[in-house]
Amino acid sequence: MKFCMTSRDDIHVAYEQGEEAVVELIMGLDVEVEKLAVQLLEQGATIQELQARLEKDSSNSSKPPSSDGYGKKNNDEKRTESLRKSGQKTNGGQPGHKGKTLEQSKAPHHIEVKKVNTCVHCGSGLENKDVSGHEERQVFDIPAIRIEITSFKAEIKTCPQCKHENRGQFPAHVTQPTQYGNGIKTWACYFSNQHYTIN
């Protein structure tokens, strides 16, 4: 991507034209910088992926040894088991060790009550019977990602003195009637570089 440099003459012309021209010039530069930042992010992700692929061989991935080629490492002493000296303790957790697990939340976001309507033993109806207790199980999950739309509205006001129409300024990164935000651009770059498929 070619970056359009602003010359001293461009700055001087904008200065002569007034504040609005200077603001427009700077906002244009902001747009160019944002495009460069997105491009650098994409290139950085691509470089990292290529470096990771170059470093993979049969010893650190599922690739077969035959794929190592002439650059294979010297593995004269192939290790097939742990080099740690065996001791008195067995593998895994030791007796008396207090384990840790996912604990239930006291304030879940959603509660679903699974009702008992009939007896599984005799088939009697239980709709109007009292509940003697509950057994609770909880599922921790990440909610689905959804797109959030932000509408920017710039005010338009006409000066009662000179009748000039004045408009509010949009943020520098908002340049189109509709556009994708930086969040979507980042995820698109990530998925295109990290989660591609190889035929």
Residue-wise pLDDT for 111-159, tens only, equals 998 999 998 999 899 998 999 998 999 988 888 778 889 999 999 999 9
Is 20 among the domain residues?
Answer: yes
Contact indicator for 54, 45 with CB cutoff of 8 Å: no
Expressed as residue numbers, the domain containing 186 is 1-40+176-199
User: Within a domain: residue 85?
Assistant: no
User: Does 189 reside within a domain?
Assistant: yes
Encode 154-166: b = buried (16+ Cβ within 10 Å), e = exposed. eeeeeeeeeeeee
**Is 112 among the domain residues?**
no
Nearest to 150 by CA among 136, 127, 122, 171: 171
Residue 7, in any domain of the structure: yes
Between strands 165-167 and 156-158, the pairing is antiparallel
DSSP symbols for 74-106: --SS---S--SPP-SSPSSPPTT-----PPPPS
Residue 190 counted as domain residue: yes
Mean per-residue pLDDT over the chain, rounded: 80
- Tell me if 109 is assigned to some domain: no
In the block, which residue shows the tokens 């943020």? 171
Query: What confidence category does residue 165 fall into, taking pLDDT thresholds of 50, 70 and 90?
Result: very high
Domain count, the chain: 1
Residue 4 banded pLDDT, cuts 50, 70, 90: low
Question: Is position 80 within any domain?
Answer: no
